[in-house]
C-alpha cells in the first residue's frame, strides 16, 4: 500500500543535507506564497524506496523569481538561469544543488522534434500533462502547510502499485518517440510492463515510424538504457522492434546474454559499453550516420561495420593480427558477436600480446637505412614471432641478420 504522504519517505531516504535545504525552501515558499513541489523521478523513486540522486523542484509560477527570493532570504546562490524555460539551478551553502523549474505547458507542432513551451507558470495539473508516463507525473507538495502531500492527477499511484507504464495521452509516442526508449529503460530498471493500450500505441508508432525527428533525446535515452548492461533491455528492444525508431532493419539473431557475457570478460577495457549493445543491431553505415555520434564513437561503429563486411576467414596468424590491430575493443566485440568469427577471440586472447622487441634504433645500429623498409622488417619479425620461430629479442636480431644477408 502506497502512503498518501511522502513525508516519511523523504525523512527515511534523502540525505540530511538535502532535507535541510528542502525544509528551507518549503519555509520560504510558505512565507512568500509560492507553491512548490517535487515531481517526476524523485517522487517515483521515493515511493518505490529507491535512492534518489538529484532533486528537481517545480515551482507553480516563476521559478527564477522564487530562486531570487531564496538568494536574498538564505545562504545560497543562483549558478545558472535559462530564461526561455524559466529554470534555475541553485547551490546552497552546504553544497547541495537543486534544479528549479517553472510549471509549464508544451506542444509538439513538429512531431518528433523538441517541444515548444507555450506557457510557463501554469497550474500544476497542466504541467503534469506534458510528462511521459503516469508514474513520472506524481507530485508531492513541499510547502510547510501541506508538506509531503501526494498529488496524483494521472493515476500514477495505482500504476506504481501494478508495476505499469502508461502514457498520458494517445499521441504521446508520436510527439516524442524517445518515450518508447524511456519506457524500455524503466521497464527494465524497475521491472514494470507497458499497459495494454500503451503497448498498442507503441506498436502503432513502430509500424509507421517517423524518421524526421530530433535524434539527441533518442541517443541519450539509448545510452542510458544500454549502459544498464541489461540483457533483458536488449532482448526487449529486438522483440518489441524498438530499433525501428532508428533503423529499418536490425540484426535480430544476437541474444542480450551473449553481449553481457563477452563484455564482462573485457569490462576493464570497454569505455562505451552502450555502443556494443547498439552496434550489434546496425546493419549498414547509414545506421552509424543516423545519430550525431562523437568522432570516436562513429569511428568505432564504422570500423565494426567494415570488419563485418570483410569478415575474412583465414588461418594465417599474421593476417589475423593485422586485421584486428589498432581496432578498439568495442569494434572487435561487435564484429565477433555478429560474425562469430573465432579469429577475434584468437586475437584478443593470444595474438595481441605478441610484441616485436627490436627497435628502429637497433635496425640503424645494424646499418639499415631508416624508411619504409623498417615497417616491412618489423612485419617479417612479427610473423616469425606469431608463428613461434623466434621468441626473444636475440632471436629477432639473428633473424634480421639473415634478411640482411639474403
Ligand atoms: P531518471 O531516474 O532516469 O533520472 P527521471 O524520471 O527522473 O528518471 P529525467 O530524465 O530526469 O527522468 O526527467 C525528469 C522528469 O521529466 C521525468 O520524471 C518526466 O516526468 C519528465 N520527462 C523527462 N523526459 C521526458 C519526455 N521525453 N517526455 C515527457 N516527460 C519527460
Ligand atoms: Mg531524473
Q: Do residues 320 and 369 share a domain?
A: no
Q: Please give the full DSSP string across 128-152, using - where no structure is assigned.
A: GGGSSBGGGS-EEE-STTSTTBEE-
Ligand 1 pocket check for 136: Cβ under 6 Å:
yes
Residue whose C-alpha is closest to residue 157's, from 174, 140, 177: 140
DSSP 369: P
SS3 state at 175: helix
Is 82 a domain residue?
yes
Both 221 and 328 in a single domain? yes
For residue 85, the model assigns a pLDDT of: 87
The CATH number that applies at residue 203 is 1.10.3090.10
Q: Are residues 301 and 158 in the same domain?
A: no
Q: What CATH number does the domain containing 15 carry?
A: 3.30.460.10
Closest listed ligand to the CA of 38: 1
Q: How far is the CA of 271 from the centre of ligand 2 (A)?
A: 23
326 with 178, same domain: the answer is: yes
138 and 189 part of one domain: no
Give the residue carrying C-alpha cell 508495476: 163
Residue 3 has a pLDDT of: 56
Which of 41, 45, 52, 129 has most ligand 1 atoms within 8 Å of its beta carbon, as the pocket-test mutant?
41
Domain shared by 135 and 193, yes or no: no
The pTM score is 0.94
Q: Long-range contacts: 19-27, Cβ < 8 Å, 24+?
A: 20/94, 20/96, 21/92, 21/94, 21/96, 21/98, 22/55, 22/57, 22/142, 24/70, 24/74, 24/92, 25/57, 25/70, 25/98, 25/142, 26/142, 26/143, 26/144, 26/147, 27/144
d(CA 188, CA 142): 30
Predicted local confidence at residue 372, as pLDDT: 81
Please indicate, yes or no, whether residues 119 and 227 belong to a single structural domain of this protein. Answer: no
Any domain includes 225: yes
- What's the pLDDT score for residue 145? 85
Count Cβ atoms below 10 Å from residue 54 Cβ, excluding itself.
10
**CA of residue 189 relative to chain centroid, distance:** 13
Look at ligand 1, atom 11, and give the residue with the nearest C-alpha. 41
Same domain for 179 and 110 = no
80 and 13 assigned to the same domain: yes
Between strands 164-165 and 193-194, the pairing is: parallel
Ligand 1 touching residue 383 (CB < 6 A): no
Q: Of all protein residues, whose CA lies closest to atom 26 belonging to ligand 1?
A: 132
For the Cβ of 244 lying below 6 angstroms from any atom of ligand 1, the answer is no
Q: Which ligand is nearest to the CA of 39?
A: 1
Kindly state whether residue 179 falls inside one of the protein's structural domains: yes
Q: Mind listing the pLDDT tens digit of every residue in the chain (406 residues)?
A: 455 799 999 999 999 999 999 999 999 999 999 999 999 999 999 999 999 988 999 999 999 999 999 999 999 999 999 998 899 999 999 999 999 999 999 999 999 999 999 999 999 999 999 999 999 999 999 998 899 999 999 999 999 999 999 999 999 999 999 999 999 999 999 999 999 999 999 999 999 999 888 899 999 999 999 999 999 999 999 999 999 999 989 999 999 999 999 999 999 999 999 999 999 999 998 898 889 899 999 999 999 999 999 999 999 999 999 999 999 999 999 999 999 999 999 999 999 999 999 999 999 999 988 888 899 999 999 999 999 999 999 999 999 999 876 6
Cβ count near 361 (within 10 Å)? 9
* 343 CB-near residues (< 8 Å, 6+ apart): 312, 313, 314, 320, 323, 324
Tell whether 279 is covered by a domain. Answer: yes
pLDDT value, residue 370: 86
Q: Which ligand is nearest to the CA of 185?
A: 1
- Residue 275 included in any domain: yes
Q: Are residues 311 and 185 in the same domain?
A: yes
- CA dist., res. 159 & res. 196, Å (int): 12
The number of the ligand 1 atom at minimal distance from the alpha carbon of 40 is 18
Cβ count within 10 A of residue 211: 13
DSSP state of 34: -
State the distance between the two ends of the chain, measured CA to CA, in whole angstroms: 86
- The reply to whether ligand 1 has any atom less than 6 angstroms from the CB of 131 is yes
Question: What residues does 81 pair with on adjacent strands?
Answer: 88
CB 37 within 8 Å of CB 58:
yes
Looking only at the bridges linking them, the beta strands covering 35-39 and 139-141 are antiparallel
Longest Cα–Cα distance of the chain, Å, equals 94
The protein residue with its alpha carbon nearest to ligand 1, atom 16, reads: 40
Name the closest-CA residue to atom 28, ligand 1. 132
> Do 345 and 262 contact (CB within 8 A), yes or no?
no
- What is the per-residue pLDDT for 109? 94
Out of 311, 329, 353, a domain closes at 353
Q: How many domains are contained in the chain?
A: 3
Best residue among 53, 129, 132 to mutate for probing ligand 1's pocket (most ligand atoms within 8 Å of CB) is 132
Asked whether residue 167 is domain-assigned, the answer is no
> Same domain, yes or no, for 158 and 182?
no
- One domain, residues 387 and 342: no
Distance 42 CA to ligand 2 centre (A): 7
What domain range is 306 assigned to? 172-353
Residue 2 belongs to some domain of the structure: no
| Beta strands at 150-151 and 164-165: parallel, antiparallel or unpaired | unpaired
The residues, ordered by sequence, that sit 6+ positions from 17 with a Cβ below 8 Å of its Cβ are: 94, 95, 96
| CA distance linking residue 33 with residue 110, whole number of Å | 37
Q: Is the dihedral of CA 103, 108, 114, 119 positive or negative?
A: negative
**Is the residue at 57 inside a domain?**
yes
Amino acid at each position: 500500500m502506497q502512503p498518501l504522504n511522502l513525508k516519511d519517505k523523504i525523512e527515511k531516504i534523502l540525505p540530511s543535507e538535502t532535507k535541510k535545504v528542502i525544509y528551507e525552501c518549503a519555509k520560504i515558499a510558505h512565507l512568500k506564497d509560492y507553491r512548490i513541489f517535487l515531481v517526476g523521478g524523485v517522487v517515483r523513486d521515493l515511493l518505490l524506496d529507491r535512492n534518489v540522486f538529484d532533486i528537481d523542484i517545480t515551482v507553480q509560477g516563476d521559478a527564477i523569481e522564487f530562486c531570487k527570493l531564496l538568494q536574498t532570504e538564505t545562504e545560497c546562490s543562483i549558478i545558472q538561469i535559462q530564461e526561455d524555460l524559466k529554470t534555475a539551478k541553485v547551490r546552497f551553502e552546504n553544497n547541495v544543488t537543486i534544479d528549479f523549474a517553472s510549471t509549464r505547458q508544451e506542444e509538439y507542432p513538429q512531431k518528433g522534434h523538441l517541444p515548444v513551451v507555450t506557457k510557463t507558470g501554469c497550474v500544476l495539473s497542466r504541467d503534469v500533462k506534458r510528462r511521459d508516463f503516469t508514474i513520472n507525473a506524481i507530485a508531492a507538495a513541499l510547502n510547510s502547510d501541506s508538506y509531503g502531500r501526494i498529488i496524483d492527477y494521472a493515476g500514477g499511484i495505482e500504476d506504481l502499485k501494478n508495476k505499469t507504464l502508461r502514457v498520458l495521452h494517445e499521441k504521446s509516442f508520436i510527439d516524442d518517440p524517445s518515450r518508447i526508449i524511456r519506457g524500455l529503460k524503466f521497464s527494465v530498471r524497475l521491472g514494470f510492463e507497458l499497459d495494454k493500450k500503451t503497448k498498442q500505441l507503441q506498436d502503432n508508432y513502430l509500424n509507421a515510424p517517423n524518421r524526421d525527428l530530433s535524434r539527441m533525446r533518442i541517443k541519450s535515452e539509448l545510452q542510458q538504457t544500454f549502459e544498464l548492461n541489461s540483457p533483458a533491455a536488449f532482448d526487449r528492444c529486438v522483440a518489441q522492434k524498438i530499433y525501428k525508431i532508428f533503423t529499418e532493419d536490425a540484426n535480430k539473431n544476437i541474444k542480450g546474454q551473449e553481449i553481457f557475457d563477452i563484455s564482462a570478460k573485457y569490462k576493464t577495457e570497454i569505455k562505451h559499453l552502450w555502443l556494443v549493445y547498439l552496434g550489434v543491431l546496425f546493419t549498414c553505415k547509414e545506421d552509424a550516420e543516423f545519430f550525431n555520434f562523437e568522432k570516436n564513437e562513429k569511428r568505432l561503429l564504422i570500423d565494426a561495420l567494415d570488419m563485418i563486411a570483410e569478415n575474412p576467414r583465414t588461418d594465417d596468424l599474421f593476417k589475423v593480427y593485422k586485421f584486428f590491430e589498432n581496432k578498439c575493443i568495442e569494434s572487435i566485440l561487435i564484429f565477433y558477436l555478429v560474425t562469430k568469427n573465432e579469429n577475434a577471440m584468437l586475437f584478443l586472447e593470444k595474438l595481441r600480446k605478441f610484441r616485436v622487441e627490436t627497435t628502429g634504433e637497433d635496425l640503424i645500429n645494424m646499418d639499415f637505412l631508416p624508411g619504409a623498409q623498417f615497417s616491412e622488417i618489423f612485419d617479417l619479425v612479427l610473423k616469425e614471432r606469431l608463428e613461434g620461430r623466434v621468441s626473444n629479442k636475440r632471436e629477432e636480431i639473428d633473424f634480421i641478420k639473415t634478411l640482411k644477408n639474403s
